[in-house]
Structure 1
Amino acid sequence: MRERLCVELGGMRPDWNRWCMSRGLTPGEGVRQLIAAALDVDADDLQAESEVDWIAINEPRIRIEIRVTHAERKVVEQRAQASGLTSNRWIVALIRAQLMREPQLGVHEMRLLSDSNQQLAVIGRWLGHLVREGNAVRMVANGGGDLRALRDQIDVHLRAVAAVIRTNLDRWSR
């Protein structure tokens, strides 16, 4: 359903057009964004929740074309390279991050999460060894704290980070 709103801008129209143009918006898009902000409702989120069929791992992709200025393309390429992605993948990540409100991890972030998980796994194994050998009792008696609680917290972190990595890999797999 289309709804139309007519607003008399008078002498403000040239200023409004310049404001919208400086942001890469049409005057209508600018008005819609202002109204959405005023109502504290993001219309894109409402449509995305009901209309988007989230991707499956082997689902075929559909090609779309967008046009950007040379300056915009250069910035996209720089940001994509900094994230360890191609320009196309960076744009897809941007779209998915907007639609899903979830992080879209680049190569660098994935490497950091993987390294973190490996280090925590080593710590978890070390703590498990201490508990099995009885050294934990001596450590607790010496003010070492509750090692089991610490190990449980590390296990929760390991599972959470592994889930983020798995979700990200599934999302990007072709």
Structure 2
Amino acid sequence: MPDCSRPNRINIDLGPYKQRWVAYCALHQLTPSAAFRQVVAKLTENMATAGDAAAAPPTTRKHRKEIGLTDAELRFVEACAEAEGFSPTRWIIALIQARMGNGAQFGQFELAALGKSNLILLTIARQLRQIAGMQQGLAGGPMPELLPVVAEVRTRIANHTAEVAQAIARNIERWHGK
């Protein structure tokens, strides 16, 4: 029968490790319990800094709930879900997760925009390498061919920044009901 007076107690059968554990504890002048607490503290220290919620393992069990929607509510959910790249069920789940504090959930359109963003960033990086190469060849003054490359990079960065800002704003508006 478990000892209910000490709810933080853990009983472990160490099997073949018992003698080595006792020897380790004696060598370091620790009781087995104190040494075990040190091991647990070390193994969980990163989890503790993220907060108690992060320390608890996430629940993967799903619970099925049936909800009744009016025709207008169903049309609204379906329209929102379609416009934002979700199935109606996934849209409702994403809404719940956002309200639980798990952050805005990106739909398929936002994910596609982020994928496009990665391609744009790769292009920008390639162009910056070109600029760096041109700078190395600079001996007597500015190179006229450098100006259009820099202008294109600036335009791409500005367009990219605006697109990402719009995606973020759409997510904030969607999940906070504004």
| Same fold (TM > 0.5) | no
Larger radius of gyration: 2
Normalising by the smaller structure, the TM-score range is 0.3 to 0.5
Provide the TM-score with structure 1 as the length reference: 0.44
